[in-house]
Amino acid sequence: MSRYTSATDADRREMLDAIGVGSVEELFRDIPEPVRQREPIAMPDGMAEQDVYDHLRALASRNRDAEQEVTFAGGGMYDHYVPALIDSILQRSEFLTPYTPYQPEISQGGLQVMFEFQTAISELTGLPVANASMYEGPSSVASAGYMARLDNGRSKFVVSRGVHPNSRETLATYAHAFGSEVVEVPLDGRGATHLGALAAAVDDDTSAVILQQPNFLGTVEDLGPLAEAAKRTGAVLVCAVDPLTLGILRPPGEFGVDVAVGEGQSLGNRLDFGGPSFGFYAATEKFLRRMPGRIAGETVDVDGKRGFVLTLQTREQHIRREKATHNICTAQALNALAGVIYLSWLGKRGVVELGELMLRRTAYAREALGAELVNPGPVVREFAIRLPNLDEVCERARAEGINPGHRLRYYYPEYEDCLLVAITERRTRKDIDRLAEIVQGAREEVHA
Amino acid sequence: MRSEAGGRRPENTLTIYEKSREGRRAFVSPELDVPEIPISDLLPSDLLRSEPPELPEISEPEIVRHYNGLSKKNFDLDTGFYPLGSCTMKHNPKLNERVAALPGFSRLHPLQEPQYAQGALELMWRLQRQLSEVAGLPHVSLQPSAGSHGELAGLLLTRAYHEDNGEQRTKVLTPDTAHGTNPATVTMSGYEVVKVGTAEDGGVDLDDLRDKAGDDTACLMLTNPNTLGLFDRNIEEIARIVHDAGATLYYDGANLNAVLGISRPGDMGFDIVHFNLHKTFTQPHGGGGPGAGPIAVSDRIEPYLPRPQVVRREGANGHSEPFFDLDFERPKSIGRLRGFQGNFGVFVRSYAYICSVGGDGLKDVSETAVLNANYLRARLAEPGIAEYLPIAFDRLCMHEFVLSGRGARDKLGIRTLDIAKRLLDHKVHPPTVYFPLLVDEALMIEPTETETKERLDGFADAIREILEEAKEDPEIAKNAPYTTPVRRLDEAAAARHPVVRQARPEAGGRRAEGGAPSATPSPSI
């Protein structure tokens, strides 16, 4: 079906005449016969717009989304409220439909957004420089590893088992390509990175040490001693951080972290079954000229008027080709825009208030569920509990329209009967009490 | 209110941080419905933040005005012609935004168990089948986040394939016309780049390829049609040389828009293909993302695909209905390239697009894209233009073509950059400039299929006008643009003294006003 094109038969004739060929087929004469597609594409013909809508709506209705259930699922992406102004601004065609700002004179909007985004990420992380976005969380972690490798040429990554399993696996995937080894540091009995094991794993060949704050179980890591142990031999210290906890948690930059990366979904982005969201990348000034991705910088035009440009492009693939510091090109500009609007909407006070609300509701939930805590130390919005009858609890919760959280067993066989529970600002005391009732009810039956 | 007029900037150049005033706000916190335990009881003091981050303090109406104001400084595809070569700036259907926003998709948690995400997994599976059909290769992974990420996947797959055969190959061939992401990806994947030259007709230099392909060659990365917009007539011979050397053949799908339903990469002999869903399959570019870079591969590469894979299990769980699942049990997999299942929201848009146009429409897409490109090429070959902007390779083109600005430079004293900047005053986005590198003063033009003949004529007229004007006075183009929100910017200064974030407020809450770029500000750490 001819869709979104507008050449009429008359247009076609005129255009072919101007080109000097007799038919559209002739335009493809360079394509050798043996590699021509002889049969039509094996796919149904095009559909009317309303039929496509109905088909997609039917598919969407076969998912159980966070509108239909009370969800305690976390594990890297969270059901936070996305304010309406984000939807409205992101649908403006001037943000939605341009390419990367290669022509700064007609891209000042996008470039200033990048500059504002970089500022917000720098503020949250307590690090002086940040780029304009990465794809998402786990690949940002792997990219930080790659930068460390370029920087010091050492061949070992020491990574905490508290780092998101997807990040660890992505790091291992990337590391295999450039010949680095990944060594994992276990968690201790309280679900925090094992300090002694970390200290023992770091040696002169350690390129980077990679931690996550809070870690995958929700534990707020004691970054001070960990950072000291990590940096003893001059390795690059990378910390994956949850940006929405940084209103209340001491920022990584204050612990001597060299590179802070992370998943930005919690900042005004939809769940979208895992993407698109954005990743971020902040670092000490030393790494400004080694960082991956776009960076916007402030400058002036020929009339002395303030403006913004893509800067330090000699790091990038389109200029430096095989000598680039990374291969990234298209990243997540629109999602990063959602992030900076969200942070402006929360504001300097709101980011603290929201953090405190999550902290208190999470404390309440830990108490109310009354289950054994896998990680009894400090947490912000997520924690793990041990439930001897885990599957039964999950089944009952599902029957009542509750997603109780993520079962840890796939990525952490050592936590076979454990549940990871996330408490965003959308989970009220009433929601928590409902989950608690199910957990308690199931426990009483076990004891009976 | 600001007290000193001296340091004041015009309102429309302020950042959101400069509009901040203590005490303003947009966010209202949900009610605290649990005990108000002191924060210091919940977090040890050495892990607590001592000062809040310097985010703006601003009301909702002013946030909206700020970003609406910024949006008006952007040129965009919905506003006008955007013939940015290699980027495929084609119409982004509005329906796609509507369906992507359905809560069943947009509010679906990535760790939702497969039984509660059947619609999403089925959509992914269906998109995999569609992309497989278009590529002519049997297996698809949707996971990579963008084209360059797909390239990385391709070389990781290549490495896994060779290693599984007990081989350590060290070199990857890339033509000198390749996108910059190709060589950058080669380095990142731990391989060495070997450049292959371009022949007289714009295709791969076969003799050079034969010389360089050997038993240390892991892969040839190729774009076909290439970045000159030319279909390589020797593609079968190229595939033969590469496969005889035992290497894989990788297809950079940035230019796939030219050959939908016309010629399939799998039939050309490619082993691995990446798609740019944000080019050929209408995901909006968003000012630099999001995109998605799925890959399609042949049977011999399949065992190494990233995990998890979306699979359809027939009659599982004791039901006769098929069950869509995530398959993690892939022992030879290269592993993950990112978190969760990929850029699902992009998949929804591209799936809706493919359903809308259908198999017949996809072929029409490529035919019209190639018709439009050749028509514009013919218009720009007219006297009065061609002597200043000769075509780099005088052949029929596919979906794009490359002109050289050497005539304009030599005869009129204006450079390709000047023509590009003058086009901004004509309310047209300029073509890609200075790429590919082997063309002197290159202008790479891709009109796409969604433009009308009138728009193409309008572009040709604008080019002619700029050249005419330059004959009279080249200074006009050299100082362009004149009508844009800002004029030419000092990029050298930006790189020499990088200012990459807003300065923090000085004591007393007022923000530092540094006008010209100075040293990089450092936060209080």
The residues pairing with B204 across neighbouring beta strands, listed in sequence order, are B198
Q: Angle formed by the axes of helices B344-379 and A9-19, to 10°?
A: 50
Same domain? B337 vs B459: no
Is the residue at B486 inside a domain? no
| 3-state SS, residue B443 | strand
Radius of gyration of chain B from its Cα atoms, rounded to whole angstroms: 27
The shortest C-alpha distance from A200 to chain B (Å) reads: 24
Q: What pLDDT, on a 0 to 100 scale, did the predictor assign at position B320?
A: 79
Q: Residue B188 and residue A150: Cα distance in Å, rounded?
A: 10
Band the pLDDT of A448: cuts 50, 70, 90. Answer: low
Is the residue at B82 inside a domain? no
CB–CB contact B363 A349 (8 Å)? no
A93 alpha-carbon distance from chain centroid: 24
Chain A residue whose CA is closest to B290: A332
CB–CB contact B119 A352 (8 Å)? no
Tell me if chain B has a CB within 8 Å of the CB of A112: yes
Enumerate the residues of chain A whose CB falls inside 8 A of the CB of residue B172. none
Same domain? B371 vs B331: no
Question: What pLDDT, in 10s, does the model give residues A299-324?
Answer: 999 999 999 999 999 888 888 899 88
CB–CB contact B339 A89 (8 Å)? no
Q: What pLDDT, on a 0 to 100 scale, did the predictor assign at position A314?
A: 86
Chain A residue whose CA is closest to B349: A56
Is the residue at B520 inside a domain? no
Domain boundary among B440, B463, B478: B478
For residue A329, give both structure tokens. Answer: 């090109």
Q: What percent of chain A has pLDDT above 70? A: 99
Same domain? B155 vs B210: yes
- pLDDT at A377 > cutoff 70: yes
The 10 Å Cβ neighbour count of residue A414 is: 11
What CATH number is associated with residue B444? 3.90.1150.10
Domain boundary among B300, B319, B354: B354
Same domain? B318 vs B368: no
Residue whose entry in the numeric block shows the structure tokens 């984000």: A86
Question: What pLDDT, in 10s, does the model give residues A257-288?
Answer: 999 999 999 999 999 999 999 999 999 999 99
Strands (E), A153-263: 156-160, 181-185, 206-213, 236-241, 259-263
Same domain? B267 vs B394: no
Tell me if chain B has a CB within 8 Å of the CB of A312: yes
CB–CB contact A253 B352 (8 Å)? no
The shortest C-alpha distance from A448 to chain B (Å) reads: 30
Tell me if chain B has a CB within 8 Å of the CB of A181: no
Tell me if chain B has a CB within 8 Å of the CB of A317: yes
Chain B residue whose CA is closest to A86: B64
Is the residue at B81 inside a domain? no
Q: What pLDDT, on a 0 to 100 scale, did the predictor assign at position A387?
A: 97
Same domain? B298 vs B406: no
**From the candidates A88, A134, A135, which should be mutated to test the interface with B, based on the most B CB atoms within 10 A?**
A135
Q: Residue A26 and residue A6: Cα distance in Å, rounded?
A: 20
Is the residue at B149 inside a domain? yes
Averaged pLDDT score across all residues of chain A = 96
For residue A255, give both structure tokens. Answer: 């612990």
A372-373 and A306-310 strand pairing: unpaired
Is the residue at B500 inside a domain? no
Same domain? B282 vs B430: no
Q: What pLDDT, on a 0 to 100 scale, did the predictor assign at position A316?
A: 87
CB–CB contact A107 B367 (8 Å)? no
The residues pairing with A385 across neighbouring beta strands, listed in sequence order, are A373, A419
> Which domains are present in chain A?
70-81+348-447 (3.90.1150.10), 85-341 (3.40.640.10)
Number of domains composing chain B? 3
For B216, residues 6+ apart whose C-beta sits below 8 A from its C-beta are B169, B170, B171
Enumerate the residues of chain A whose CB falls inside 8 A of the CB of residue B233. 30-32
Per-position pLDDT tens, chain B of length 525: 333 344 556 767 899 999 999 999 999 999 999 999 999 999 999 999 999 999 999 999 999 999 999 999 999 999 999 999 999 999 999 999 999 999 999 999 999 999 999 999 999 999 999 999 999 999 999 999 999 999 999 999 999 999 999 999 999 999 999 999 999 999 999 999 999 999 999 999 999 999 999 999 999 999 999 999 999 999 999 999 999 999 999 999 999 999 999 999 999 999 999 999 999 999 999 999 999 999 999 999 999 999 999 999 987 566 678 999 999 999 999 999 999 999 999 999 999 999 999 999 999 999 999 999 999 999 999 999 999 999 999 999 999 999 999 999 999 999 999 999 999 999 999 999 999 999 999 999 999 999 999 999 999 999 999 999 999 999 999 999 999 999 999 999 999 999 999 998 765 444 444 333 333 444 333
Structural domain harbouring B131: 114-354
Same domain? B373 vs B471: yes
Tell me if chain B has a CB within 8 Å of the CB of A67: yes
For residue A100, give both structure tokens. Answer: 């990367």
Tell me if chain B has a CB within 8 Å of the CB of A397: no
CB–CB contact A299 B489 (8 Å)? yes
A382-386 and A418-422 strand pairing: antiparallel
* Helical ranges in B381-452 per DSSP H: 406-407, 416-425
- pLDDT at A443 > cutoff 80: no
Is the residue at B506 inside a domain? no
Q: What pLDDT, on a 0 to 100 scale, did the predictor assign at position A446?
A: 65
Same domain? B13 vs B121: no
Q: Residue B135 and residue A37: Cα distance in Å, rounded?
A: 11
Q: What pLDDT, on a 0 to 100 scale, did the predictor assign at position B318?
A: 62
Instruction: Report which of residues B71 and A443 the model is more confident about.
Output: B71
HSE, CB side, 13 Å, CA atoms: give it for residue A321: 15
Same domain? B319 vs B428: no
Q: In what order do the strands lie in the sheet with A156-160?
A: A129-130, A279-283, A259-263, A236-241, A206-213, A156-160, A181-185
The shortest C-alpha distance from A203 to chain B (Å) reads: 23
For B373, residues 6+ apart whose C-beta sits below 8 A from its C-beta are B229, B397, B398, B399, B400, B401, B445, B446, B447
The shortest C-alpha distance from B365 to chain A (Å) reads: 7
Sign of the torsion angle spanned by Cα atoms B322, B324, B329, B330: positive
Chain A residue whose CA is closest to B142: A275
Domain boundary among B327, B354, B381: B354
Tell me if chain B has a CB within 8 Å of the CB of A322: yes
How far CA A391 is from CA of A408, A442, B155, B392, in Å, comes to: 12, 10, 41, 66
Same domain? B31 vs B153: no
Tell me if chain B has a CB within 8 Å of the CB of A305: yes
HSE, CB side, 13 Å, CA atoms: give it for residue A329: 32
Backbone angles phi, psi at A45, to 5 degrees: -65, 170
Q: Residue A361 and residue B36: Cα distance in Å, rounded?
A: 9
Q: Residue A199 and residue A195: Cα distance in Å, rounded?
A: 6
Is the residue at B263 inside a domain? yes
Sign of the torsion angle spanned by Cα atoms A308, A312, A314, A315: negative
Chain B residue whose CA is closest to A90: B286
Same domain? B242 vs B364: no
CB B361 within 8 Å of CB A47: no
Of the partner residues A75, A129, A273, the one whose CB lies closest to the CB of residue B344: A273
A279-283 and A129-130 strand pairing: antiparallel
